[in-house]
Structure 1
Amino acid sequence: MYVVFVVALTCLGVWVDAVNNGLARTPPMGWMSWQRYRCITDCVQQPDNCISESLFKRMADRLVSDGYKDVGYEYINIDDCWPLKDRDAEGKIVPDPTRFPSGMADLAKYMHSKGLKLGIYGDFGTLTCGGYPGSKFYMDVDAQTFADWGIDSLKLDGCYTNPDDYATGYPLMEFFLNKTGRPILYSCSWPAYVKDPDYKTIADNCNIWRNYGDIQDSWDSVKSIIGFYGDDTDNFTKFAGPGNFNDPDMIILGNFGLSYDQQRVQMAMWAVMASPLLMSNNLDDIRPETKDLLLNKNLIAINQDPLGIQGTRKSQTGNIEIWSRPLSPVGKFAIAILNLGEAGCAAIVNTTLSYIGLTNQGGYKVTEGFTGAVVGTFSLSDHFVSNVNPSGIQLYVASPN
Structure 2
Amino acid sequence: MALLWIVVSSLVSVSSALDNGLALTPPMGWLTWERFRCITDCKKYPNECISENLIRRTVDLMIIEGYYEAGYEYVGIDDCWLEKARSLDGRMVPDKERFPSGMKALADYIHSKGLKFGIYEDYGNLTCAGYPGVLGHEQIDIDTFVGWDVDYLKLDGCYIEPTEMDKGYPDFGKMLNETGRPIMYSCSWPAYQEDKKILPDYASIAKHCNLWRNWDDIDDSWSSLESIMNWFGDNQERIAHHAGPGHWNDPDMLIIGNFGLTVDQSKVQMAVWAVLAAPLLISADLATMKPEFKQILLNRDIIAVNQDSLGKQGLRVITKKKIAVWSRELADGSHAVAFVSHRADGAPHATRFTLDEMKLPSVQYEVVVSSFYK
- Name the TM-score class by shorter chain: over 0.9
**Which among 213, 218, 226 is matched to residue 221 of structure 2?**
218
Letter of the 2:215 partner, please give it.
Y
Q: Within 5 Å, give how 1:195-214 maps onto structure 2.
A: 195-214=198-217
Does 2:327 correspond to 1:328?
no
Distance, in Å, in 2 between the alignment partners of 1:52 and 1:46 is: 11
SS in 2 for 1:349: coil
Contact 2:25 2:307 in 1 (8 A): yes
Partners of 2:17 and 2:210 within 8 A in 1: no
Structure 2 partner of 1:355: 357
Q: Could you give the per-residue CA deviations for residues 47-85 of structure 1, whole angstroms, max 9, x where no partner exists?
A: 111100000111111100000000100000000010111
Q: Are 1:18 and 1:174, in contact at CA under 8 Å, matched by a contact in 2? A: no
Q: Does residue 97 of structure 2 align to residue 94 of structure 1?
A: no
* Partner residue in 1 for 2:5: none
**1:28 aligns to 2:27 (yes or no):** yes
Matched, 1:273 2:276: yes
What is the CA-CA distance between 1:370 and the residue it aligns to?
3.5
Q: Deviation per CA, 1:365-393, whole angstroms, max 9, x where unpaired?
A: 111034699xxxxxxxxxxxxxxxxxxxx
Match of 2:367 in 1: 366
Unaligned 5+ runs, structure 1: 1-15, 374-401
Q: Runs ≥4 in structure 1, deviation > 2 angstroms?
A: 352-355, 369-373
Question: Which residue of structure 1 lines up, in the alignment, with residue 8 of structure 2?
Answer: none
Computed over aligned residues only, the root mean square deviation of the Cα atoms, in angstroms, reads 1.5
CA distance in 2, matches of 1:132, 1:189: 17
TM-score, normalisation: structure 2 = 0.93
Opposite residue 172 of structure 1, the aligned amino acid is D
Question: SS at the partner of 1:351?
Answer: coil
3-state SS in 2 of match to 1:265: helix
The 5-angstrom pairing of residues 103-122 of structure 1 reads: 103-122=102-121
SS at structure 2 position matched to 1:129: coil
AA matched with 1:118: F
Equivalent residue, structure 2, for 1:379 = none
Aligned pair 1:261/2:264, yes or no? yes
> Equivalents in 1 of 2:17, 2:290: separation in Å?
42
Whether the 8 Å contact between 2:122 and 2:134 is mirrored in structure 1 is: yes
Quote the residue 1:157 is aligned against.
Answer: 156
Q: Which has the larger radius of gyration?
A: 1
Between the aligned partners of 1:344 and 1:304, the Cα distance in structure 2 is 31
Letter of the structure 2 residue corresponding to residue 139 of structure 1: E
Aligned counterpart, 1:84: 83
User: Which residue of structure 1 aligns with residue 305 of structure 2?
Assistant: 302
**Once the 2 structures are TM-superposed, how far is the Cα of residue 199 of structure 1 from its aligned partner?**
0.3
Structure 1 partner of 2:315: 312
What is the alpha-carbon distance in structure 2 between the residues aligned to residue 254 and residue 359 of structure 1? 37
Please report how far the alpha carbon of residue 360 of structure 1 lies from its aligned counterpart in structure 2 after TM superposition: 5.0
> 1:42 is matched with which residue?
41
How far residue 352 of structure 1 moved from its aligned partner, in angstroms, is 2.2
CA-CA distance at 1:321 after TM superposition: 0.8
Deviations 1:212-231 (A, max 9, x none): 11100000000000001111
Indicate the residue corresponding to 1:399 in structure 2.
none
2:59 aligns with 60
Larger RCO, structure (CA 8 Å, separation 6 or more): 2
Corresponding residue number in structure 2 for 1:251: 254
Unaligned runs of 5+ in 2: 1-14
Quote the offset at 1:357 in angstroms.
1.2
1:384 is matched with: none
User: Residue type matched to 1:150 in 2?
Assistant: D
Contact 1:79 1:120 (8 Å CA) reproduced: yes
CA–CA distance in structure 2, aligned partners of residues 349 and 93 of structure 1 = 56
2:7 corresponds to: none
Distance 1:298 1:87 in 2: 46
**d(CA) in 1 for partners of 2:85 and 2:176?**
22
TM-score, scaled relative to structure 1: 0.87
Residue 291 of structure 1, aligned match among 291, 294, 304 = 294
SS of equivalent residue, structure 2 residue 350: strand
**Which residue of 2 is the match for residue 8 of structure 1?**
none
| Partner AA of 1:44 in structure 2 | K
